[in-house]
A and B are shown apart, each in its own frame.
Chain A
Amino acid sequence: GAGVSQSPSNKVTEKGKDVELRCDPISGHTALYWYRQSLGQGLEFLIYFQGNSAPDKSGLPSDRFSAERTGGSVSTLTIQRTQQEDSAVYLCASRRTVDNSPLHFGNGTRLTVT
């Protein structure tokens, strides 16, 4: 079956512009995560959604970052007024709602802010 799909795979934007990153999780997966990975760094937690519950936004680095998930499926991560330090790979992952289920990652969106 299809895995987690992210688009675009690459995005180059000018400083100050807004960007939207999209994630299409595996069908039937109720939990969806966004992580940020800067060059050579670890996975920084940003936000996660679980079903219809309020998302855990505790990892969003500033109010320029927001995310939504429509209909319990597709999610969009929006970064407003992008800064150069926002340059990174943004990874989305989804998982089933059981404690021993793994996260399935997409291939990420590489964001470059010039």
Chain B
Amino acid sequence: QQPVQSPQAVILREGEDAVINCSSSKALYSVHWYRQKHGEAPVFLMILLKGGEQMRHEKISASFNEKKQQSSLYLTASQLSYSGTYFCGTRGTTDSWGKFQFGAGTQVVVTP
């Protein structure tokens, strides 16, 4: 099953913070986060592995709660360049090695 992302969309002013959540109904082995700007391909941000540490990409960080089967992406002191659609991709512990399924995405708009 696809992971569920929330919220569907968020509008921020430059410098504000936001949190995007990604939840799964199954036990997860890993979570990937990607950002897609309009008309472009998704670009990798970070990977969180079961038992791994919290990751960071610039002022964007993420955590992985294995017990809750949930990952959260934190946009801190948002910049205009953070605008785009954020996708989480998950692999379940019982999935084949490469099977990644993505959530529906969270559209982020950062305004001046």
What residues of chain A have their CB less than 8 Å away from a CB belonging to chain B? Answer: 4, 31, 33, 35, 41-45, 48, 50, 56, 58, 91, 95, 99-100, 102-108
Contact = CB atoms under 8 A, between A and B. Distances in A.
Given A42-B104, A100-B47, A56 B41 contact: no
Nearest to B48: A100
Contacts of A99: 30, 49, 97
A91 B40 CA distance: 11
Interface residues of B, number: 23
A88 to B, nearest CB: 14
Contacts of A44: 102
A42 B99 contact: no
A91 B98 CA distance: 16
A100 B102 CA distance: 17
A35 B104 contact: no
12 contacts: A31-B98, A42-B105, A43-B42, A43-B87, A43-B89, A45-B100, A48-B100, A50-B97, A56-B98, A91-B41, A99-B49, A102-B32
A106 B102 contact: no
Interface in B37-91: 40-44, 47, 49, 87, 89
